């Protein structure tokens, strides 16, 4: 089984915020699917070329993402090499992206939580740039909404 995790914060107040890029990518990729709840996650299970793929959106809020992710990983005995985490990245230009594997959290609290709970950093990450605004404190900026122009 492969696991693809979109990081974000649950709740309508966080919809279309920078920290919710992981949720947004999954929603855009999967379209309208029937998300179910399991072990503090929304999840959607499908099969591609005979391989089961589980998509999850943790419901524990960003800084505790590792708690929800580890429940799924431990229950299904998923190897870290079969995990992809989709996260926001402040240090990248808006819309830029890169894939990293086996690296530190880079200061991202959601990734830090996952590394702590899984006791490894040996998983892949799709980092999506959200830009940075030095005039707004980071903790406020990451939960600010994208403008209509930024979303287009």
Task: Report angle CA 27, 116, 95 to the nearest 5 degrees.
Answer: 35
Query: Is 108 labeled as catalytic in the residue annotation?
Result: no
List 5, 7, 8, 19, catalytic entry: 19
Which string of DSSP letters, residue by residue, matches 82-144? GEEEEEEETTS-TT-EEEEES---TT-HHHHHHHHHHT---SEEEEEE----TTS-HHHHTTS
Per-residue b/e over 76-89, b at no fewer than 16 CB within 10 Å?
eebebebbbbbbbb
Q: Which residues are catalytic?
A: 19
């Amino acid at each position: 089984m492969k696991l693809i995790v979109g990081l974000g914060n649950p709740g309508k107040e966080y919809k279309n915020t920078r920290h919710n890029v992981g949720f947004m990518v999954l929603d855009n990729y999967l379209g309208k699917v029937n998300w179910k709840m399991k072990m503090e996650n929304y999840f959607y299970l499908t099969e591609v070329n005979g391989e089961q793929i589980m998509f999850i959106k943790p419901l524990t809020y960003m800084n505790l993402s590792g708690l929800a992710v580890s429940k799924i990983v431990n229950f299904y005995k998923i190897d870290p090499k079969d995990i992809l985490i989709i996260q926001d990245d402040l240090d990248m230009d808006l819309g830029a992206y890169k894939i990293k594997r086996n690296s530190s959290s880079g200061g991202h609290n959601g990734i830090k939580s996952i590394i702590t709970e899984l006791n490894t950093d040996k998983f892949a990450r799709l980092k999506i740039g959200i830009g940075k605004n030095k005039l707004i404190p980071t903790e406020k900026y990451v939960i600010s909404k994208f403008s209509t122009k930024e979303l287009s």
